[in-house]
Structure 1
């Protein structure tokens, strides 16, 4: 695509965001990298929770309607047509969509609106690819077909771990239509999450994530319960809250029961996790949710915290067994407790493994490395280079 003299007049890259928080927190660095190349960036957003943060990035936004869990054909068709209309009016040079609905609705809508350069990013496959009842299998087959269509219409389909790509490439249509690229998650800003020596008096175990069963929050609580009597000085903290829109969310009654039990401290959902990471000794995320790569694990590695997580897609990418942490089987509170107990019996491992985790973050998960790989695949990111080199 050719460069326009005044990129503020028109949008070069339009993001279709799953929510404003993910755009500001997870895609903000990619946005800035595009802007550093002289490209103007806009976004379609479905909510305004973090809208101020998005606008501080210099992004022009438009509101669109997104029903995360709706499957009604009439409603989805209406939202698809609205997306096509919006994109046609904005007339961006390229569209970048991430998460399920923005990809399967936004990419076809963008192409029908006349956008020739589109990109997809699967930020994990979620519960659809981890649940196997008949209804879910039918929906999964339909979503996989839609992914294949979106991939065939796009210049690149990015995945955040190799297991997710392998899952979709089992589908013959996806394998032949989509040009897929694996990157190391969303990356982590090493400067925003600097190394800090982990405290070991007391040893504190931290969980960070939505309170969904598949995220392993109930397994974390059970492991804490098993250890609390024998190690009364140990502390257990869980950051996050329930997601009432999902049937697999932990109930409010259960969270209140955990509060009353008093074994795990539950501060709720917090905007700034830095102070909790600094006061933690070990990150524990026993998730089997089909993550891309969980952001909480990347932040923990960067801060220099050992990791206990599940041997599941996305999570396993963050652990070199016995070097910076351990992998445990899904749904296994006993194994989680056993690995946590190892740190309680040998506190020196906390800092040794934490230091190794920081090295992994630097070598593998730096956000600048991840962005560079993505930008290399995006034609529009190179549009200015010939002009810039000639001036």
Structure 2
């Protein structure tokens, strides 16, 4: 039987964003092993037919010795599994998994799921990470990017070989069956929703600024997301202009209640999944003019695009949305749904992978 190994940060990510690829590979006759930290959805992945191998990537660590250990773990796993193809995602699996595949001469496909802060922000760490990334993707049969700006970043810094094959895919795509068009909540209130990990770079301060200006009995600002920073946790729990719901496993009821998804992020995204999901649900979105966010919105049609780190622009976009009538808001949401169906169906991502794996098999 053909075998595919997926090197990834954790099982939560694997199930939520790569489950469709795992399912398709199994249907195509592959045995699939998922290698990463064993967190949520292990039973669901096993039920799909995937084998799970626990490896802690230390995703936020910068200790070179730990990273070398990770690379040797990957080598050990790959030697044992003897896969026909390896799929790598996230920075450390791309780098150290890519190097392991090159050493063992195993074909692999790297997916740049966003630059990440160490790559995007100038400094010593950026120089080191760029060099590591350059080595990691050097042998990839095809390097997948989630937006054009990320590909241009790699090309401008000579991080790709001249003969390297690259493809831009629509992020992780959206499973349209799991994110259907939702009916509108007709309680007469307008709900703005922020759903993401609570951190400054995701634009929470800008969301709060809009909430403090417009929140009322009929204009509600909802926040969902895990809060690592105690400062923000204290702030959100005491902030009277918003309702903080904490981390939520399923956002469906919040998307349904939501009138507009407000996400003024300037974090280095590959492609923002929450923006894709909100638009797929038929909700207008307000997003920032940066790679991984702007692509999800047709400005003035399915939502609004605002400059990054611009509080006044966010407030003005919220005001513009409040001036719309109910019919205009619904039409904006429908335009967003149509855009997702047209450009971001997860099937497009899965098909791209199957196509590139087919080329590897022919070679």
Contact in 2 for aligned 1:37/1:381 (Cα 8 Å): no
Task: Encode CA deviations 1:125-173: one digit per residue, 9 max, x unaligned.
Answer: 12124433xxxx2222222222222222110110111111111111224
The structural deviation recorded for 1:380 is 6.7
What does residue range 21-100 of structure 1 map to in structure 2 within 5 Å? 21-100=12-91
Q: Structure 1 residues 381 and 297, CA, compared in 2 at 3 Å: closer, same or farther?
A: farther
Please give the secondary structure, in 1, of the residue aligned with 2:250: coil
The structural deviation recorded for 1:376 is 1.5
The structural deviation recorded for 1:37 is 1.2
* Distance across 2 between alignment mates of 1:369 and 1:21: 22
Contact in 2 for aligned 1:197/1:351 (Cα 8 Å): no
* Distance across 2 between alignment mates of 1:283 and 1:236: 10
Contact in 2 for aligned 1:147/1:174 (Cα 8 Å): no
Unaligned runs of 5+ in 2: none
Could you state the TM-score of these two structures normalised by the residue count of structure 2? Answer: 0.94
Other-structure match for 1:387: none
What does residue range 1-391 of structure 1 map to in structure 2 within 5 Å? 7=1, 12-115=3-106, 117-132=107-122, 137-176=123-162, 178-199=164-185, 201-228=188-215, 231-243=216-228, 251-348=229-326, 349-379=328-358
* Distance across 1 between alignment mates of 2:287 and 2:76: 43
* Distance across 2 between alignment mates of 1:368 and 1:312: 25
Please give the secondary structure, in 2, of the residue aligned with 1:374: helix
After TM superposition, the structure 1 stretch with the greater mean CA deviation from structure 2, 275-284 or 104-113, is 104-113
Unaligned runs of 5+ in 1: 1-6, 244-250, 384-391
The structural deviation recorded for 1:175 is 4.7
Q: Structure 1 residues 382 and 91, CA, compared in 2 at 3 Å: closer, same or farther?
A: closer
Could you state the TM-score of these two structures normalised by the residue count of structure 1? Answer: 0.88
Task: Encode CA deviations 1:344-379: one digit per residue, 9 max, x unaligned.
Answer: 222333101101001001100011122212322223
The structural deviation recorded for 1:114 is 4.2
RMSD: 1.7
Answer 1 or 2: higher relative contact order, Cα 8 Å, separation at least 6.
1
Count matched residues. Answer: 360
* Distance across 1 between alignment mates of 2:119 and 2:83: 32
